[in-house]
Structure 1
Amino acid sequence: MTRQIVLDTETTGLSAEGGDRIIELGCVELLNRKLTGNNLHFYFNPGRDSHEDALKVHGISNEFLRDKPKFSELAPDILEYLQGAEIIIHNAAFDVGFLNKELELTGRPALKTYVGSVTDTLAMAKEMFPGKRNSLDALCDRLEVDNSGRTLHGALLDAELLADVYINMTRGQDALLVADEADDSAGGISVAAIDLRSLSLPVLPASEQEVALHAEVLTQIDKSSGGKTIWRKFQTA
């Protein structure tokens, strides 16, 4: 069972090394690419005020955070929740840098020690949509994810939006996978393995019109990527 955590933070400013701290953490859990509702959401007292520009982005007042726990107090719960999962973050270097600094301040090793891997959706988006704006809002518009409720940045809301964006960006990538054996432990359902070797699948060749339309689509994709598509390289090799 694939466990993924879509994660976002809000901070007092832009520089973890310069003393800025995390003030909000939002996490959304996906199991086999489906939302489970087992989310994690915390506010933290950073021990310092947010920069004015940061306040304009997240709108979380310094007064609101005064009675919130320190990150160090909740670090064990956070790490237990993230343990072994694939972490999905938009502009991962920023959030991971802040998380590593918070863990360092508690005497703990870096985030990579606890998680399975980190996937950066910003890097994915730049590869999929070269030359285009790839902010979270831009991706929501492009992939038809409703972000009408996002007037300010919020860690949990942004994680929920990013989960929808990620699923849309990777839609279909698992459609052709056939598992030898599946076990849904949550529902108590076992699915027996199917031997596909006995099946004889018909071959349906594409018509001339379909081949022409396919070639036209490939040409359009190649043009939009600036001639960087892989199949063109193989054709000229």
Structure 2
Amino acid sequence: MRQIFLDTETTGLYPDQGHRIIEIAAVEIFNRRPTQRHFHIYVNPEREIDAGAQEVHGISLEFLQDKPLFAQVASEFIEFVRGAELIIHNAPFDMGFLNMELSRLNMDKLETCISGIVDTLKMAKEMRPGQRNNLDALCRHFGIDNSKRTLHGALLDAELLAEVYIAMTRGQESLLMELSTVTEQVSATTVAVDMNALALVAATPAELAEHVQYIEGLAKSGATPW
């Protein structure tokens, strides 16, 4: 299965208030193994960045001045994720921004070109109710090194999310591997039987009488003996 771990950074929290995407990262894995393929780009938002948002990701408007507009990278991004399952931490946030950017270009929503979406925040809340389930907390819980994450960055966060997701679903993988192994062992096992060597053992009179009594008892009780 082809899966894409996706993260974005933005100028603020609310796409419906005009906030824009400034960074997109998408990391690919296939059958739970990294392929070393990724999509990563910074985007000129054509607007100011909220101070609170800049404190989180550390990306300045000056740094983005020579970066492409979303319109210039949209098609390349769509082709990279096309047909894949997207894995996103707090999916409504990133999907809201991506679909807002696509709508500005009169392009279809992202859901129309992918196979599905998995929200790892929702998964984590179901696995760890009442606990902190942000990416840092999940890295600590699963023993994943996030020491390089001094600020939020889309590419690093997408790579960490891939590790977290593999750890979160490791039990499912083990179960599937065990079932597969048992099936292969059963399929590969053959037993040679010499039909001429089988002995025919007849029931004794006492065993036959006991069987008749058993059938009669079932009949009296209304049960069916077959």
Question: Structure 2-normalised TM-score?
Answer: 0.79
1:111 to 2:98 alignment: no
> What letter is aligned with 1:79?
I
Partner of 2:189: 199
Q: Deviations over 1:99-130 (max 9, x none)?
A: 00001011111110011000000000000001
Partner of 2:15: 16
Partner of 1:122: 121
Distance in structure 1 (CA, Å) of the matches to 2:53 and 2:29: 29
Q: Percent identity?
A: 56
Shift of the alpha carbon at 1:176?
4.0
Structure 2: runs of 5 or more not aligned: 178-182, 191-226
Shift of the alpha carbon at 1:198?
5.2
Partner of 2:169: 170
Distance in structure 2 (CA, Å) of the matches to 1:140 and 1:22: 25
Question: How is 1:47-126 mapped onto 2 (pairs within 5 angstroms)?
Answer: 47-126=46-125
Partner of 2:43: 44
Distance in structure 2 (CA, Å) of the matches to 1:4 and 1:196: 32
SS at match of 1:67: coil
Shift of the alpha carbon at 1:172?
3.2
Distance in structure 2 (CA, Å) of the matches to 1:157 and 1:129: 24
Shift of the alpha carbon at 1:89?
0.3
Shift of the alpha carbon at 1:194?
5.3
Partner of 1:152: 151
> What letter is aligned with 1:145?
I
Partner of 1:161: 160
Moved over 4 A (4+): none
Distance in structure 2 (CA, Å) of the matches to 1:118 and 1:84: 11
Tell me how large the CA RMSD over aligned residues is. 1.8
Question: How is 1:201-216 mapped onto 2 (pairs within 5 angstroms)?
Answer: none
1:6 to 2:2 alignment: no
Distance in structure 2 (CA, Å) of the matches to 1:198 and 1:159: 41
Partner of 1:34: 33
Distance in structure 1 (CA, Å) of the matches to 2:127 and 2:188: 38
Distance in structure 1 (CA, Å) of the matches to 2:125 and 2:142: 14
Aligned length: 186
Distance in structure 2 (CA, Å) of the matches to 1:87 and 1:145: 21
Distance in structure 1 (CA, Å) of the matches to 2:166 and 2:176: 16
> What letter is aligned with 2:74?
A
Question: Structure 1-normalised TM-score?
Answer: 0.75
> What letter is aligned with 2:86?
I
> What letter is aligned with 1:81?
F
Distance in structure 2 (CA, Å) of the matches to 1:29 and 1:156: 11
> What letter is aligned with 1:94?
F
More helix by share: 2
* Structure of greater Rg: 2
Q: Deviations over 1:14-51 (max 9, x none)?
A: 00010000000011101000111101100000000110
